């Protein structure tokens, strides 16, 4: 194979990107190389370049090659209008460790067969346990407590993989073909350990298929939440993969993918299948029907949420009676069909209006976008600072209400300054 060409470049003095910062730090502790310098120094520099080239050859070549004079791209973390990085670095590939370890991974071993339901059950175990994020520690099952260790655990791999090796256990698929148990993977060649990330797909969160329920290991603990399809940034770089050993399970096989039976649902039912039904309905837009739970005891909330999901498929009469049958269950388990529509529309939820730009929201501004923002804040329950209005003129009340909404997202500092950016706007109108 042809090796990529590597050229040396001097990092810009005032550039804050990850690549230039790293080069400046390295240079600070290394004597500068000048023309005519000591031969040993030149030899060391040459060895470093050759070693880098060799590393590319061993790890797949082009995916690691960097532009000769380019700057390493900055990455993004979830949340806020100015994301700068996931803040959750990952470790390298290695064996399982701790009490749950089963020895070193077997090179070239066949993928362990798992149903989608089993993958999601394993993923949920860490969510329930609130496993703390760490790239150096290992959970009781032997898997490393970072994003790639989490996927390795959910897929039941023989060792701890990382974002640079997970694709070897999977098949690339289209995003529109994603099903629960598949992954969305971003491997950043400029900063593989810190810039990369991977999430487990848990099902579509809206009918437009622009957001999904993401299971992920990130700081501070394992979580699941509705997430934009392309994560928070790098929308064109997250690739969809399907585990090679996955199966959907066969009816009657005892797999939790198969419909557990009509007797498990309805008045008086109290079992784990009811809980799972509720969780899947919440992931598909049914959260508004539950004031508490979902839980194992069948409730009116379960019936209403099930009926809303059935109606979203265009079903009527007995087909939309609020009691799940095999068809309802199959769509929920596989992530198929249409999600539950927004409460206000009665049909498919309207797309969020395009963000009009930061210049529309500042002292002295007066336009229809300010009033629209204010009305949506009130609708979402963040209008406490309005003594009157809202109206078209930007006021301190607008800023304080926006700040309250931003803080409710968990943002702090400059991310909660009271001035809406694209992400604030998207979440407010979601």
Encode pLDDT of 174-201 as tens digits.
Answer: 888 888 899 999 888 777 766 789 999 9
Averaged over successive runs of 10 residues, the pLDDT of the chain (430 residues) comes to: 36 50 49 43 42 37 31 34 51 80 50 85 92 93 94 94 91 86 87 81 79 90 87 77 76 54 88 89 89 89 93 86 89 81 49 83 92 90 86 93 87 88 86
Element holding 201 (H helix, E strand): strand 197-204
Residue 231, pLDDT score:
78
Asked if residues 264 and 271 have their Cβ atoms less than 8 Å apart, the reply is: yes
Q: Which residues lie below 8 Å from residue 208, measured CB to CB, with a gap of 6+?
A: 348, 349, 351
Asked if 421 contacts 358 with a C-beta cutoff of 8 angstroms, the reply is yes
- pLDDT at res. 169: 93
Q: What is the pLDDT of residue 130?
A: 94
Contacts of 147 (CB under 8 A, 6+ apart): 86, 88, 90, 163, 196, 197, 198, 199, 216, 217, 218
**What is residue 114's predicted lDDT score, i.e. its pLDDT?**
87
Q: 6 φ, ψ to 5°?
A: -110, 130
Looking at residue 12, its pLDDT comes to 45
Size (the chain), residues: 430
DSSP H helix total and E strand total for the chain: 11, 10
Which of the 8 DSSP states describes residue 403? H
Identify the pLDDT of residue 16: 52
Residue 383, pLDDT score: 86
What pLDDT score does 403 carry? 92
């Amino acid at each position: 194979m042809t090796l990529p060409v590597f050229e040396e470049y001097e990092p810009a003095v005032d550039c804050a990107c990850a690549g230039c910062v790293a080069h400046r730090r390295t240079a600070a502790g290394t004597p500068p190389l000048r023309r005519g310098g000591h031969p040993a120094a030149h030899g060391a520099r040459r060895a470093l370049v050759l070693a880098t080239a060799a590393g590319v050859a061993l790890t797949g070549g082009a995916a690691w090659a960097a532009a000769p004079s380019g700057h390493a791209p900055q990455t993004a973390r979830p949340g806020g209008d100015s994301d700068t990085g996931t803040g959750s670095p990952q470790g390298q590939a290695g064996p399982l460790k701790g009490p749950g370890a089963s020895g070193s991974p077997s090179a070239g071993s066949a993928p362990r067969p798992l149903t989608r339901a089993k993958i999601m059950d394993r993923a949920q175990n860490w969510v329930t346990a609130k496993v703390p994020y760490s790239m150096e520690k290992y959970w009781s099952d032997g898997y490393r407590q970072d994003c790639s260790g989490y996927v390795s655990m959910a897929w039941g791999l023989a060792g701890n993989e990382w974002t640079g090796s997970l694709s070897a256990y999977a098949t690339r698929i289209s995003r529109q073909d994603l099903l629960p148990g598949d992954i969305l993977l971003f491997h950043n060649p400029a900063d593989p350990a810190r810039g990369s990330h991977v999430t487990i797909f848990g099902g579509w969160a809206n009918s437009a298929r622009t957001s999904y329920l993401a299971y992920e290991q990130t700081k501070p603990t394992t979580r699941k939440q509705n997430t934009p399809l392309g994560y928070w940034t790098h929308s064109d770089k997250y690739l969809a993969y399907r585990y090679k050993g996955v199966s959907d399970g066969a009816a009657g096989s005892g797999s939790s993918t198969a419909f557990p039976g009509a007797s498990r649902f309805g008045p008086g039912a109290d079992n784990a299948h009811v809980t799972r039904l509720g969780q899947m309905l919440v992931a598909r837009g049914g959260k508004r029907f539950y004031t508490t739970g979902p839980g194992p005891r069948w409730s009116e909330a379960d019936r209403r949420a099930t009926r809303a999901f059935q109606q979203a498929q265009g079903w009527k009469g007995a087909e939309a009676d609020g009691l799940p049958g095999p068809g309802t269950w199959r769509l929920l388990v596989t992530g198929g069909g249409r999600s539950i529509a927004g409460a206000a529309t009665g049909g498919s939820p309207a797309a969020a209006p395009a963000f009009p730009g930061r210049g529309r929201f500042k002292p002295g501004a007066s336009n229809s976008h300010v009033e629209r923002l204010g009305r949506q804040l009130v609708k979402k329950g963040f209008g406490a600072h309005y003594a009157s209005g809202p109206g078209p003129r930007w006021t301190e009340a607008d800023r304080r209400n926006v700040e309250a909404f931003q803080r409710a997202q968990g943002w702090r500092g400059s991310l909660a300054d009271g001035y809406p950016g694209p992400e604030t706007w998207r979440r407010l109108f979601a």
